[in-house]
A and B are shown apart, each in its own frame.
Chain A
Amino acid sequence: MDFGFHLFAMLLPLCVIAMIAFAFEKLASGRQPAHVPALDAPHSGDSAGSERQAAHREEPT
Chain B
Amino acid sequence: MKGTHRGAIISSGILLGAGLGGFVDGILLHQILQWHNMLSAFRPPTDLVAMKYNMVWDGLFHVFTWLMVSAGLWRLWLAGKRADVPWSTRTFVGSLILGWGLFNFVEGLISHQILGIHHVHPGEAQLAWDLGFLASGLVLMGLGAGTIRAGRRDSTPRGGYTLGTRPSHA
Contact = CB atoms under 8 A, between A and B. Distances in A.
Nearest to B82: A45
Interface in A2-33: 6-7, 9-14, 16-18, 20-22, 24-30, 32-33
Interface string A22-61: 1011111110110011111111111001000100110000
A45 B102 contact: no
B17 to A, nearest CB: 9
Contact of A9 (B7, B86, B115): B115
Given A13-B106, A30-B3, A43 B11 contact: no
B83 to A, nearest CB: 4
A39 B18 contact: no
Q: Is the interface of B mostly helix, strand, loop or mixed?
A: loop
Interface residues on B, range: 35 or more
B157 interface: yes
A43 B102 CA distance: 33
Nearest to A14: B64
Given A6-B39, A13-B110, A24 B81 contact: no
Q: Is the interface of A mostly helix, strand, loop or mixed?
A: helix
Given A6-B117, A12-B110, A43-B159, A18 B68 contact: yes
B1 A39 contact: yes
Interface of B: 1-8, 10-11, 14-15, 18, 22, 38-39, 42, 57, 60-61, 64-65, 68, 71, 81-86, 95, 99, 102-103, 106-107, 109-111, 115, 117, 152-153, 155, 157-159, 161-164, 166, 170
Interface of A: 6-7, 9-14, 16-18, 20-22, 24-30, 32-33, 36-46, 49, 53, 56-57
Given A6-B38, A43-B157, A53-B170, 12 more contacts: A9-B110, A10-B38, A13-B103, A14-B64, A17-B68, A28-B6, A30-B5, A32-B3, A32-B152, A37-B164, A39-B1, A42-B159
13 contacts: A6-B39, A6-B57, A6-B117, A10-B60, A13-B109, A21-B10, A24-B95, A30-B7, A32-B155, A33-B153, A38-B1, A38-B4, A44-B81
